[in-house]
Structure 1
């Protein structure tokens, strides 16, 4: 079962983010606080949205997706950027990840969004295989660049 996250889900979303960072071998990078998540997801101007995957039998949260809108200047419409998709190891293979992606695809269709995009680590073969089994294709001609921390601050100070 997939449902829209509520403010009561902040603790489990925070836990899932920490678990995902552990899985991706960068636990020190997950610095978001529950307060920041609450503001981003449920503040006056939400910057992101989340869904919770629940075990069909117990109702226990077993995974989540966190996403936000992007915009395609070429298509002239919004799309969805999936920031995080995570399903606990014990629940993998149960269809929860697929159900989370299906919900985002449904939202895209309902709202006229024409893209659903995300990034995956090159070493994460199980996820790559899963995404490709759904029809997703890598965008090999693009390289993601990122500025953070000192480099971001230094560029912002240039005049």
Structure 2
């Protein structure tokens, strides 16, 4: 009997060689928002600022059967009121063909499984009006949506 369940996403931290893939994900978001012409960053910018001793952000990539399924770009934050470290989610995207496949399952799965929960107690996601449909999974997992 064949297992009818779809393959689960594999989530991993990116490496410098993923800079072009990260940039392509950012362009996907910009295209969705009708703002592609406003993106001035390059894969070299991503590589320069996303890796090394003074890493400005972290990216988790979700893959399904080796194909790019989505990504979550975030950086560490701190809540002075709660006294907790957090993760400020800057950009999140799920490729259209993988929507509904569990790629954007909230901070606990699948992204949270690749990035230890103790490092992101309080996920925060400030969203634009146009992004409302894609934020429900974050709210369900306890993220603050500003």
TM range (shorter): 0.7 to 0.9
- Whether contact under 8 Å (2:79, 2:86) holds in the other structure is yes
CA RMSD of aligned residues (A): 2.2
Matched position secondary structure for 2:88: strand
Stretches of structure 1 lacking an aligned partner (at least 5 in a row): 140-159
Higher helix share: 1
Q: Is residue 2:126 matched to residue 1:124?
A: no
Indicate the residue corresponding to 2:32 in structure 1. Answer: 23
Tell me the residue number matched to 1:148.
Answer: none
Indicate yes or no: 2:1 matched with 1:8. Answer: no
> Distance between the aligned counterparts of 2:88 and 2:116, measured in 1?
11
- Structure number with the higher strand fraction is 2
Question: 4+ runs of 1 displaced by more than 3 Å?
Answer: 103-108, 128-139
Q: 1:84-110 CA deviation, whole Å, 9 max, x = no partner?
A: 110111111111111666355454633
- In the alignment, is residue 110 of structure 1 matched against residue 118 of structure 2? yes
Contact 1:65 1:100 in 2 (8 A): no
Tell me the TM-score normalized by structure 2. Answer: 0.80
Q: Which has the higher contact order (CA 8 A, sep 6+)?
A: 2
* Structure 2: 5+ residue stretches without partners: 1-9
Tell me the TM-score normalised to structure 1 length: 0.74
Q: Between Structure 1 and Structure 2, whose CA radius of gyration is higher?
A: 1
